[in-house]
Amino acid sequence: MSAQKMHIDSYERNWMIFSFILLVLFASAVAVAAFGMGIQVPAPEERVDPRTVATDPNSPWSNPGLREIAPGKYDAYILARAVPQWEYLPREITVPAGSRVTFYVTSPDVQHGFMIQNTNANFMVLPGQVSKLTVTFKNEGTYNFICTEFCGAGHGVMYGAIIVTP
């Protein structure tokens, strides 16, 4: 007894082959972006209590700012807030060119955004959650960051800058 050969219409078979090629292409594109170009997806790092995150002395956001953890490597703790006024703390960060900065951003009140111009950093900042992303600043210059979520009357003045010195 021989196995019966299944009949597939050539039109249908060509579409199946085409879809399979597309799947392989998309998977390769994701692999190249992740491993070859080092593109990361912003991930929720940890949960925090938004009521105490800015005031608890054990919370790094009670004293937001830049910490050098190794030569050329920094952790930046940034608080995005709407109360008492719309702002980022700190509003300005200065690092030398070539620095690798890991941002840890959270909000004690409402939802904000965090987008650094001329980089691939663009993520949401949610109360109760820490958003983390690492950016390497190869070239000197001023990289403005802005809030990308409408967060109230002062949304338009919610911005800051990363100054990369030579």
Provide, rounded to whole angstroms, the least separation between the CB of residue 149 and Cu ion: 6
- Judged by beta carbon, residue 95 or residue 158, the one nearer Cu ion is 158
Query: What letter would DSSP give residue 157?
Result: G
- Judged by beta carbon, residue 76 or residue 147, the one nearer Cu ion is 147
Provide, rounded to whole angstroms, the least separation between the CB of residue 83 and Cu ion: 11
Q: What is the rounded (10 degree) CA torsion for 35, 38, 44, 46?
A: 90
CB 125 within 8 A of CB 114: yes
Provide, rounded to whole angstroms, the least separation between the CB of residue 40 and Cu ion: 22
- Could you tell me the CA-to-CA distances from 160 to 17, 128, 153, 163 in Å, in that order? 50, 22, 17, 10
User: Burial, 122: exposed, middle or buried (Cβ in 10 Å; 0-12, 13-18, 19+)?
Assistant: middle
Provide, rounded to whole angstroms, the least separation between the CB of residue 70 and Cu ion: 31
- Judged by beta carbon, residue 141 or residue 152, the one nearer Cu ion is 152
Enter the tokens of residue 165: 């010195």
- Judged by beta carbon, residue 44 or residue 154, the one nearer Cu ion is 154
- Judged by beta carbon, residue 31 or residue 83, the one nearer Cu ion is 83
The residue whose two tokens read 């190249």 is 32
Which residues make up the interface to Cu ion (CB under 5 A)?
A: 112, 147, 151, 158
Provide, rounded to whole angstroms, the least separation between the CB of residue 128 and Cu ion: 16
